[in-house]
Amino acid sequence: MAPSDYVIVGAGSAGCALAYRLTEAGKTVTLIEFGGSDIGIFIQMPGALSYPMNMPRYDWGFSTVPEEHLGGRKLATPRGKVLGGSSSINGMVFVRGNRKDFDFWEESGAIGWGYADVLPYFKRMESWHGGRSAWRGTDGPLHITRGKRKNPLFNAFIEAGHQAGWPRNDDYNGQHQEGFGPMEATIWKGRRWSAANAYLRPAKKTGKLTVIRALARRVLFQDNRAVGVEIDRKGRIEQVMAGEEVILSASSINTPKLLMLSGIGPADHLREHGIQVRADRPGVGANLQDHLEIYMQYKSLKPVSLYTYYNLLGKSRVGVEWILQKTGLGASNQFESCGFIRSGENVDYPDIQYHFLPLAVRYDGKAAAKGHGFQAHVGPMRSKSRGTVRLDSADPAGAPRIHFNYMSHADDWKEFRACVRMTRQIFDQPAFAEYRGEEIQPGATVQSDGQIDAFIREHAESAYHPCGTARVGAAEDGMAVVDPQLRVIGVQGLRVADSSIFPRITNGNLNGPSIMTGEKAADHILGRQMMRADPDLTETAS
């Protein structure tokens, strides 16, 4: 097989976007993905979101080492092993992040990644169905929609946030992020609008894309230049060669693993596993970050929650309607209202996020209460805790060692206590008076700092937003892994384009910023003039 211009590892959020933009420009691309097809009701039906991330067919099945600050618990770390990557198994929530997230990136050495630089790529990638706005795009491959909020609990949550003193916000992805309002989702015509649906299928139609289902083992080099990828395809070791460059878009877990297997990473760690050091980059696998959250749950005094459908007959009816018409409860992820607030007056911009759900249930789909209820997922946005991804062995088929080091910074505990107390204030507002029953979780007796901390230690869960393990920065920054053009520092012909590059985690869910990274990476790779937003937009955003 003749070499493609570019070889991309990982058909996830960034990889699909990158493949589309490169093939659109006339380049040939080979895309390596270990997972299989995304065709199936559990992925394509938004209401079935709790299933694919718990299915070995679609999920890598990673988990952390025992997290010492969470009572030694091992937390699940789902990553998509399927076309579309994690965009095919996630909750479909769409959040860009805050202007100040990206300005921080630039201030920390990621020149050209400030808000003014990334806004045009957010606009280019989306078809927003919320009207006209100078901050939003309407012609992109990624459809962004809102649920209909037919359940009265959705609007009660927005009204309660306003009654508690926060503004209403009709578009947290627009000019301002702070406030309560409708939540946005990557759902279109009742289907999950993953990166596979938005980008990969159009890329295939160009005739320039080849998708190979295989395990990427390591990057191949000639002298100091990446020239291809060694793969395991059905037990056969093969080489997939690149005419121009290799790009790793394998996730913030698998990308650092591949870099280290290829000899790029902390030298001492590589030598421990018998790997020849090609570039000593201690930042590879460092700077690992995530969002933790807790579920604040209440019983409902009225039978208005989704519990009515939380049985075999109810689920069957929902499924049949979706299969026949792509409508009904199955056409929504049920995250239809949300909030972004600050934990204190001295906080510069929102640091707490809410996802509201009209059901008391866990993310894996298990009911928390036998009866009607509702909940808010709540957690701090900018934890100061940092962890690592490391090799457990030099076996490419082995899982890496994932240690988030959750809750290792004292400020994390203060911010989580604020989450609990502020959430209670919101649910205590008049808007919930007719619905609010007993507090299921944490429970009304959990009041002191010590009691709240004990609850967090036992019940905090990942929001599944890992990032940061190959961060972008100045070429002379010893802990940076890629330069602002996403070129891996210390070698040639190799780039990274996924959430690994984030210097610091962004406000909210990471699918949007990950896709933006793939979009922007394409222009860097193609040598195009980079887009930049009108100052009138960026200076008034918050």
Averaged pLDDT, 117-121: 98
Cis peptide before 442 (omega within 30 of 0): yes
Please indicate, yes or no, if residue 364 is contained in any of the structural domains.
yes
Please indicate, yes or no, if residue 431 is contained in any of the structural domains.
yes
Residue pLDDT, tens place only, 397-415: 999 999 999 999 999 999 9
**Against a cut of 0.85, is the pTM above it?**
yes
Averaged pLDDT, 312-324: 92
Instruction: List, in order, residues 6 or more apart from 217 with CB less than 8 Å away.
Output: 229, 230, 231, 232, 237, 261, 396
pLDDT of residue 361: 81
Please indicate, yes or no, if residue 325 is contained in any of the structural domains.
yes
Catalytic residues: 465
Averaged pLDDT, 487-516: 98
Instruction: List, in order, residues 6 or more apart from 540 with CB less than 8 Å away.
Output: 175
Q: What percent of the chain has pLDDT over 70?
A: 99
Instruction: List, in order, residues 6 or more apart from 433 with CB less than 8 Å away.
Output: none
Average pLDDT, the chain: 96
Residues 48/536, Cβ–Cβ less than 8 Å: no
Structure tokens at 202: 């159009």
Please indicate, yes or no, if residue 115 is contained in any of the structural domains.
no
Please indicate, yes or no, if residue 48 is contained in any of the structural domains.
no
DSSP single-letter state for residue 529:
P
Averaged pLDDT, 142-155: 97
Instruction: List, in order, residues 6 or more apart from 38 with CB less than 8 Å away.
Output: 44, 82, 83, 84, 88, 194, 196
Residues 513/502, Cβ–Cβ less than 8 Å: yes
pLDDT of residue 342: 96
Residues 287/472, Cβ–Cβ less than 8 Å: no
Please indicate, yes or no, if residue 237 is contained in any of the structural domains.
no
Where is 299: in which H helix or E strand? strand 292-300
φ, ψ for residue 211 (rounded to 5)? -105, 125
Q: What is the CATH number of the domain that holds 352?
A: 3.30.410.40
Averaged pLDDT, 68-91: 97
Structure tokens at 428: 């205590």
Please indicate, yes or no, if residue 362 is contained in any of the structural domains.
yes
pLDDT of residue 366: 61
Instruction: List, in order, residues 6 or more apart from 469 with CB less than 8 Å away.
Output: 252, 253, 255, 256, 284, 285, 286, 287, 288, 388, 389, 481, 500
Report d(CA 195, CA 386) in Å as an integer: 28
pLDDT of residue 290: 98
Would residue 362 be called left, alpha or beta, if left means φ above 0 and alpha means ψ between -120 and 50 degrees?
A: beta
Residues 89/50, Cβ–Cβ less than 8 Å: no
- DSSP, residue by residue, 198-231: IIIHHHHHTT-EEEEE-EEEEEEEETTEEEEEEE
- pLDDT grade for 311, boundaries at 50, 70 and 90: confident
Residues 380/352, Cβ–Cβ less than 8 Å: yes
pLDDT of residue 363: 59
Residue pLDDT, tens place only, 245-303: 999 999 999 999 999 999 999 999 999 999 999 999 999 999 999 999 999 999 999 99
pLDDT of residue 364: 59
Domain range holding 300?
148-182+292-380+408-459
pLDDT of residue 535: 86
Averaged pLDDT, 178-201: 98
Residues 321/330, Cβ–Cβ less than 8 Å: yes
Report d(CA 11, CA 251) in Å as an integer: 10
Residues 399/380, Cβ–Cβ less than 8 Å: no
Report d(CA 234, CA 242) in Å as an integer: 21
Residue pLDDT, tens place only, 509-532: 999 999 999 999 999 999 999 999
Residue 386: is its pLDDT beyond 80?
yes
Please indicate, yes or no, if residue 212 is contained in any of the structural domains.
no
Tell me how many domains the chain contains: 1
